[in-house]
Amino acid sequence: MSTSSNPLIRIFDTTLRDGEQSPGASMTHNEKLELAELMETMGVDVIEAGFPAASEGDFAAVSAIAEQSKSAIICGLARSTPNDIERCAEAVRKAARPRIHTFISTSPVHMKHKLKMGPNAVLEAVGRSVAQARNHTDDVEWSAEDATRTEFDFLCKCIDVAIASGATTINIPDTVGYSHPDEYGALFRRLIENVPNSDKVIWSAHCHNDLGLAVANSINAVANGARQVECAINGLGERAGNAALEEVVMAMKVRGDTLPFETNIQPAYLSKASAMVSRITGFPVQYNKAIVGKNAFAHESGIHQDGMLKNAETYEIMRPEDVGVAKTSLVMGKHSGRHAFRDKLEALGYVLEGDALNDAFKRFKTLADRKKHVFDDDIIALVDDQLAAEGERIVFKRLRVVAGTDGPQTAEIDLVVDGDEKFAIARGNGPVDAVFNAIREIVPHDGKLELYQVHAVTGGTDAQATVSVRLNCEGIMSTGRSSDPDTLVASAKAYLHAVNKLEARKAKRTHAA
């Protein structure tokens, strides 16, 4: 906990709820538990674990996260309907510190076209839902969906009713990313000055990034009285995403001179959290992403390099190690032993035991025989690929591809499906198309390839390739990501990861129906 005299800003992480609503970003049950555990370790105050009424899977994940939690507030989202609130209350019941987060739209456009309710009906729903939630827990958050496009006087009335009914946190979301910083900050100031008993609740900001202003809006809300910021790792979220947790935290840490606020976040975990979310969702982090991007601490121009060599502060406003980025990376090779490899994994934030460690070490040695130098990023990609494949029913075994100008481009592939080995051969319009066609011969599906992206993990012609794939089948989105020195092998594995997720989600939808 912070010991500073500066005001403490609660960090409310919605990666598992709002973040997972990004098309293709769905997470498995175990992945959610793994991520929630890391969030609690890094100091997240409130973990919004999911939307319990949305599905049985969401309910089970929120319940499991609540049960494993130790210190963080575990929050579930609920609409203002009695069933949603009861379901949410049951899901968070076993948390050491449970919270119910209920919401309703308050803007004219939402009330008319989405809710088909008048102002009085909305006010009645606010009071009823908050009171019902308060019967289950003394920690109730209420949100005015589309607050920034809501008439001010009506917004004040809704908040007044929510506080009178027992809400302890009031969230003013910029649901559609419509606001700019001065406007959003001023809204908080006006609300705090005009709403009765505004000093009895914690005010919260939740900003979307449709205009690229989510972090700036969140910071200005804090400067004007907000004491909770709702954000997501890597800025994950619907449409253009949410305010990025790592940017909000480091903005206040680096600029404490003008932003005299504290958080409970331990920044050294930021890089690991970013990498975990990227691995789980299959969404690569853009190279120039603030704080956690690959180029965030890279310097290429001569002027910058000269300044860095003289004094790092000339071009870096924070140290790489402050956010968990290793200062050195070239330390492992084919002569490295198991003990050194295990120490390296722990330094990179991975704890593997037994068969998982043995498999990772074997793959590392194979990679070291193929590459002249093995960098930290290579090891991270190797382990992430291994973790992503755990528990999948369709497993890659072997690939042989014929490519080049003479053609025809042909792929032969061996897969293991539910324990049985399968073989297929197929042609395509290029080697990647041939590989994907061969996989479809074994695992037929209707998924449309919406994204195929390749980038190098490190420099050099022997660099591993990381391939990202996204499939869309009748609105069911799935992503896959894999790394290998052979781009075609990485492509096959990434495609298989996406297919495994697609098949699992189709089965889940069929079961739910």
Structure token pair of residue 244: 């990025």
Query: Which residue carries 């009285």 as its tokens?
Result: 225
Structure token pair of residue 361: 């070490």
Structure token pair of residue 229: 């910021």
Residue 209 near residue 216 (C-beta atoms within 8 A): no
In this structure, how many other beta carbons lie within 10 angstroms of the beta carbon of residue 257?
6
58: annotated binding-site residue? no
Structure token pair of residue 465: 């390739």
18: annotated binding-site residue? yes
206: annotated binding-site residue? yes
According to DSSP, the residues that pair with 141 across neighbouring strands are: 101, 169
Gap between the terminal Cα atoms of the chain = 45
Beta strands in 265-393 (DSSP E): none
- Give the helix ranges, DSSP H, for 214-295: 214-223, 245-254, 270-281
DSSP-assigned letter for residue 314: G
Residue 498 near residue 447 (C-beta atoms within 8 A): yes
Beta strands in 155-267 (DSSP E): 169-174, 202-207, 228-231
208: annotated binding-site residue? yes
The C-alpha atoms of residue 127 and residue 232 are separated, in whole angstroms, by 29
Orientation of helix 119-134 relative to helix 152-164, angle to 10°: 30
Amino acid, single-letter form, for residue 374 = V
Which long-range CB contacts under 8 A does 193-202 form with residues at least 24 apart?
194/156, 195/156, 195/159, 195/160, 195/163, 196/160, 196/163, 197/160, 197/163, 197/164, 198/163, 200/163, 201/163, 201/167, 201/168, 201/169, 201/170, 202/10, 202/168, 202/169, 202/170, 202/227, 202/228
Residue 499's nearest CA partner among 511, 476, 510 is 476
Annotated binding-site residues read 18, 206, 208, 242
Annotated binding-site residues for Mn(2+) read 18, 206, 208, 242
